[in-house]
Amino acid sequence: MSLCWSDTMGKNILEYNSMRKKVSEKKLFEKEVEEKLGRNDDCWCKSGKKYKKCHCAFDEKLEEYRLKGILVPPRRIIKNPEQIQGIRESAKINIAILDYIDTHIQVGISTQEIDDWVSSITKKHNAIAAPLNYEGFPKSVCTSVNNVVCHGIPSKEEILKEGDIINVDVSTIYNGYFSDSSRMYCIGEVSAEKKRLVDITKQSLEVGLQYVQPWRKIGDMGAAIHEFAMENGYSVVREIGGHGVGLEFHEDPWVSYVCPKDTGMLLVPGMIFTIEPMINMGKEDIYISDEDGWTVYTDDGLPSAQWEIQVLVTDEGYEIISY
């Protein structure tokens, strides 16, 4: 579930952009207060190891980057091996739900039926659907059809038709750990224009993944996705982006797909975040439904597409946790 509105219900897009910029600038220059450890203290990551044999050198390297004015991740978003494994277990359920939808979604079903599937499978695994009641969201999954960019609310009245495209965004909590991913579906025979939009959006993830490397800035990934979308004649939504996830539903960092290269937070091993660009066939402009306060539409009424994966930064590169 993409990050934009969790703390900004009722605010317009321009107000949100201004607030987000101020928060980002503040984080760039202010270091979070973190406990100073001695070399023989237990490491802050709760590995059970001495600090000197665990994250001491890691922290020293981070401090070097911070002193250069680079935004570095706080300890609270760096996952330890036990947490990463817990998130992987949550992701297994998330993937299983989307796999079920893969084989059952078709012309004639309602988006409410998709919500029913998600609710049933989630409960079968003794898990929790993260979107349900999140900031007042009324359903267990987001279903976004055609010109809906994201956060579409399932309904008995919304019946999938031949030629529709739909994004199904599933987020799961299992044993306190969060997973999050989404997939696009073409319903029956869709137009060549819609099919191309769906395919290029999926390809944009592969383009971005090439830049997910430890000790590189997250903006390199976002800029690559933006450039790829523009080269293919599309626009990228600016106001809504990806997010850290794992211990909470929405964590730092904010993940933009319209940012310049060499900007944003430094990627380091143990970070987990989503890559989920929303790519529009027409212009980038969007608006939020006045009726439900959640559903985001393209302003020009043209289709939008989104695929979402959850990614772990590793020592060597990345691991896709959920897809």
- Give one DSSP letter per residue of 22-90, joined into a string: HHHHHHHH-PPP-----TTSBPTT-SSSBGGGTTHHHHHHHHHHHHTT-----GGGPPPHHHHHHHHHH
pLDDT digits (tens, 9 = 90+) for 274-304: 999 999 999 999 999 999 999 999 999 999 9
- Judge whether residue 24 has pLDDT over 60: no
CA–CA dist 106, 113 (Å, integer): 11
Mean pLDDT of 98-102: 98
> Would you call the peptide bond into 138 cis, given omega within 30 degrees of 0 as the criterion?
no
Residue in this structure with the two tokens 């001491």, named with its chain if needed:
56
CA–CA dist 91, 180 (Å, integer): 7
- Judge whether residue 264 has pLDDT over 60: yes
Question: Which positions ≥6 away from 141 have C-beta within 8 Å?
Answer: 114, 115, 118, 129, 131, 154, 168, 169, 170
Domains in the chain, CATH or no CATH each = 79-85+97-322 (3.90.230.10)
CA–CA dist 144, 153 (Å, integer): 8
- Judge whether residue 23 has pLDDT over 50: no
Question: Which positions ≥6 away from 187 have C-beta within 8 Å?
Answer: 105, 106, 107, 160, 161, 162, 163, 164, 165, 166
Average pLDDT, the chain: 92
Considering the entire predicted model, what is its pTM?
0.91
pLDDT digits (tens, 9 = 90+) for 3-22: 664 334 334 443 444 344 44
